[in-house]
Structure 1
Amino acid sequence: MATSTQMREGGSAPLSRSAFRRSRGDGPFRYASTGAGILLLVIMAAIAVFLIARAIPALQANTASFLTELTWNANASEPKFGIGALAFGTVLSSFLALIIATPIAIGVALFISHYAPRRLASFLGYIIDLLAAVPSVVYGLWGIIFLVPFMRGPSQFLNDYFGWIPIFGGDQVVGRSMLVGSLVLAIMILPIIAAISREVFLQAPKMQEEAALALGATRWEMIRMAVLPFGRPGVISAAMLGLGRAMGETIAVALIFPATFTISYEILSANGNSIAANIANGFGEANDIGRGALIASGLVLFVITLLVNMAARWVISRRKEYARVAA
């Protein structure tokens, strides 16, 4: 017979009816969340298996080293292709975009969360969220129509006065360069990093902020001592999410990158390509071996993205107090 209380197993203290109902709901929720996690792992494993299965025939037909070859001629009767230049361009452009976007995004997030008046902060927050929803093809068209001609002057200035720095060197400065592509990627990932960092900074403990101000700290000192340490895991996670978006971006970089297969640190010259852009440019005209080669390059991008995320989790876990906040 049901009563207002239910006895725990082993004769321990009774549970109230509401507590008993909550305890009954814990089991299904635990099973559902565990199943969701397992399903995610199964999907990732299925993607990896698909990529490997479709890439093996092309890799077997390849007459060059897939990891070090700089040319891409996968549709020839004797296929010869490699991922070296594409992987280099993908990593270089993505990290340049991350270096450009992250400080600006953190500044925007701090201004919205701790400096701007409430109405202005709400308006800027909506604008940041809208920028994150703009299709990538729009950024690509804006970059090729406006940014490429606009950046010729600044690129020439960097080459003339800072050409002694290897990344700004080169004998010829062009509009469609690695620098312009990285700028477009930085603009694309900036709203993502800013939006996540803003939400993390807003969760900083108010008591710690008020205590720092009460002890005579300025607003910047309060942010440096109370907000930034608390938000560091969130900022790292946001940056890694933006880095993954930059690595996998296709249309924007396909419109801007000069699509060359060279390894060069000169970001102002006609050097630059990425795995995603090469897939977009070559998939429509590829034969069976060519499509397999492009899928193999996609597998490399999959592995690079996975390693980047694992490295981010390792960086966070090095500091236990930050790991607890991020969990």
Structure 2
Amino acid sequence: MLPMFTESALGLETPDDIAENPEARPVKRTLAAKPSGSDLLFKSVARGAGGVTVGIMLAVGVFLSLRATDAISVSGVGFLTEQQWSPETGAFGIAAVLFGTVTIAIIAMCVAVPLALGTALLISEVAQGRLRQTLVTLVDLMAAVPSVVFGLWGVFFLQASIIPVSAWISTYFAWIPFFAVTDGSGEVLTDASAFTSSAFIAGIVVGLMVVPTQTSVMREAFTQAPMGEREAAFALGSTRWGMIKAVVLPFGRGGIIGGTMLGLGRALGETIAVYMIISPIFTINWQVLKTGSNSVSALIALRYGEASEFALSALMAAGLVLFLITLVINFTASSIVARSRSGAESEA
């Protein structure tokens, strides 16, 4: 028969001992180490940098709100529905320029997302070694090209090449209202001058400008797909495209959405390239191939130098609307990207 060992025989504290002597109660130990001076300095600098960034953003919002008060108090809700822009007469609003901003941004996304997605997959899944590094470098260099260079390239080179494409689209797809090009009486326009300085051309240029940003975010998400799931897909007889469709794309869904929205925020706020390409109008133009469009940022760049005090307040109100829209889009995109980095699911 095996001997019986009790807590007392083993020298351990029994519940009765703890009840009689509360100081004998076990105390939970922590593993926290005392931070060093360098750790405290780093934490302070990081918090300070984050606080300054948030403070600047809030300061911009407060500044725009205060400067826009006069114009908003005069126009009221009509500021979002009025198409004219004549602050001196009291008839002003951003309906037309806001429509043009959204139109150009949507066209830019239709151009940029497929290019960015294909480029990101090429870099992360197909290219190897030195070719991959070269492609990454080229994409990063493309992001460093100034906006004015894209604008000059769009005006003097791309526009002449796009006009025949616009005319072809208008000829064969005019049954879609967005692609029709007509005058005020409904007569079809075929002259090349009817297709210049359009939202379509501006959207293509802006789309090419945001491709590097979207490509970088998508590539980063794709490269984080688990190697084990990739190899498992190949072991089950999957082709490379099958592996990409079953593993990489589902895992990088958050990166795709986040990169698209970050690019959308950039497209909504683009100024110089759009300003150089479009022919400013202050009416809603549903025909994206036709000459004439506008955007909030281009409006501010166009009218800032000659604006009176009240007109400047109206421009600040337009900038406030654009600031709020881009802030919401970028915040949503950042949340999606951060969530995708913490883990993702795939079908493999």
Interval containing the TM-score (normalised by the shorter chain): 0.7 to 0.9
State the alpha-carbon separation in 2 of the partners of residues 14 and 190 from structure 1. 49
- Alignment partners' CA distance in 1, 2:275 and 2:36: 53
- State yes or no: 1:53 paired with 2:37: no
Trace 1:78-117 onto structure 2 (pairs within 5 A). 78-117=89-128
Change (3 A) 1:324 1:117: closer
1:131 alignment partner in structure 2: 142
Alpha-carbon separation, structure 2, partners of 1:271 and 1:313: 33
Q: How far does residue 183 in structure 1 lie from its aligned partner after superposition?
A: 0.2
Would the aligned equivalents of 2:259 and 2:333 in 1 still touch at CA under 8 Å? no
CA distance in 1, matches of 2:30, 2:156: 71
Please give the per-residue CA displacement for 1:126-174, whole angstroms capped at 9, x wherever unaligned.
1111000000000000001111122111111001111111211121332
| Superposed displacement of residue 21, structure 1 | 5.3
| Matching of residues 290-309 of structure 1 within 5 Å | 290-309=311-330
Tell me the CA shift for residue 51 of structure 1.
Answer: 0.3
Please state whether the residue corresponding to 2:79 is helix, strand or coil.
coil
CA–CA separation in structure 1 for the residues paired with 2:43 and 2:256? 29
- Note the 1:194-273 alignment, pairs <5 A: 194-273=215-294
Aligned-residue CA RMSD (Å): 2.7
After TM superposition, the score normalised by the length of structure 1 is 0.86
Q: Distance in 2 between matches of 1:60 and 1:84?
A: 17
User: CA shift at 1:80, angstroms?
Assistant: 2.1
SS in 1 for 2:80: coil
CA distance in 1, matches of 2:27, 2:141: 57
Does residue 1:73 correspond to 2:86, yes or no?
Answer: yes
Q: Secondary structure at the match of 2:231?
A: helix
Aligned to 1:7: none
Deviation at 1:27, TM superposition (A): 6.6
Q: Aligned partner of 1:126: which letter?
A: T
> Per-residue deviation at 1:204?
1.6
Deviation track 1:253-311 (CA, whole Å, cap 9, x = no partner) reads 00111111121321111231000011111111111111111111000001111232355
Distance 1:302 1:64 in 2: 18
**Which residue does 2:56 correspond to in 1?**
43
Distance 1:64 1:302 in 2: 18
Distance 1:295 1:205, change over 3 A: same
- Name structure 2 gaps, 5 residues minimum: 1-25, 183-188
Work out whether residues 108 and 267 of structure 2, in 8 Å CA contact, stay in contact via their aligned partners in 1: yes
Larger radius of gyration: 2
Contact 1:233 / 1:325 at 8 angstroms: preserved in 2?
no
Name the SS of the counterpart of 1:66 in structure 2: helix
For structure 1, the residue ranges without an aligned partner over 5 or more in a row are: 1-9
Is the alpha carbon distance of 1:321 and 1:280 closer, same or farther for their aligned partners in structure 2, counting shifts above 3 Å?
A: closer
Identity %: 44
Residue aligning to 1:156: 167
Instruction: Give the conservation status (yes or no) of the 8 Å contact 1:62–1:81.
Output: yes
Indicate if the aligned counterparts of 1:64 and 1:80 stay in contact, CA closer than 8 A.
Answer: no
Distance in structure 1 (CA, Å) of the matches to 2:57 and 2:234 = 47
